[in-house]
Structure 1
Amino acid sequence: MIGIIDYNAGNLRSILKAVELFDKAKIIKSEEEILSSDKLILPGVGNFGSAIKNLSPVKEAIVKAIDEGVPFLGICLGLQILFEWSEEANEEGLKIIKGEVLRFRKGKVPHMGWNTVKILKDSPIFEGIKDEEYFYFVHSYYVVPREDCVVGETNYYINFPSVIQRDNLLATQFHPEKSGKIGLRLLENFIELF
């Protein structure tokens, strides 16, 4: 069972519908449900500070599941929350990935719409996906990792990480559930190959 973590900061229904094209999925809230899921997805739309506050009851369960090798996919804010600190709310994140989350300084913010992903490293997540494919983005902040985990990047006035991977942990800045057939392929790859 794939658990989609509900912390009042995600577009849960569209993720659920997309994932259920490939496997059984359930929206979950408790530590017990997190620790008993075969795979986890942390979606995200909203404010970093509110998200971290809402996740506080299950924070330890998320970290434990990732440490134990449960395949994990973070989406948009669900990527940013994995980092140590965010400029958005001057708040600490889950501290699973070393680095920080910064606000775009140039261009129209939020960065919204279709943009390409440059594949930097081989990863099963890109199986059947060509370099420079288009995905759908909506975000005002971007991650700056201090460890080697970036497998895809996107340009919006600067090059920023749009796909990170470390072992069983995978996260995207874009929304695969809103990215048409190519986004569904990425979700299928996560479900089938991780």
Structure 2
Amino acid sequence: MEGIIIKTIIIYLFFVAIMLTMDFKLKNFIPEKYSNILIISLYIVIFAVRWAGTGFSPEAYYLFSLLFVPAVLIIIYTIVIKSKFYCFKGIDKSFVRKNRDEISKIIQEYKSQNLQGTSDISLGSNNIIFDNVSASQIKECLSMIGNYLDDHRDKYTVRDYVVYYTKVFIVPSTIIAFLMFAAFKIGQTNM
């Protein structure tokens, strides 16, 4: 059992590393489908590691149900939804919050000059939602907003990245690892 917990923690940390890489590699926006694919992959890998070689016992079926339902919902949502979501990079959240009005003006200007009919672009809390907008128009709009971000945000220092990634990834990962280890130890003492 302890080996399974350690493997699960390693897998989780591997996916955190992928998320960090994605955050660094992608310029200003992260397509929501990338996040969805990553979450589904995490579910599948954890399930496969947990039950590899042990057969499909009732416990495995229960865990599979818990993991399978959210994975299916995410897949259906990603395929069915016609809107395309692009999230701002996490480190930009406070900048986006402070400059929301300016970003909204850029979106409104783009909409008035380029969109017609049922096409729409809206600014969410930390994302931009494109509804019935062509791929080329999405690229143009994201480019305009990205240029604004690049021109107006302060250059991030190494300290800014360390503080952000510590708050968003390292602290939650440590808490999850500690809780999993504590649950394992409690489970062992109750046996």
Instruction: Indicate whether the TM-score tops 0.5.
Output: no
Q: Return the index of the structure with the highest Cα Rg.
A: 2
Higher RCO (C-alpha under 8 Å, 6+ residues apart): 2
Question: How does the TM-score come out when normalised to structure 1?
Answer: 0.27
The answer to which structure has the higher strand fraction is 1
The answer to which structure has the higher helix fraction is 2
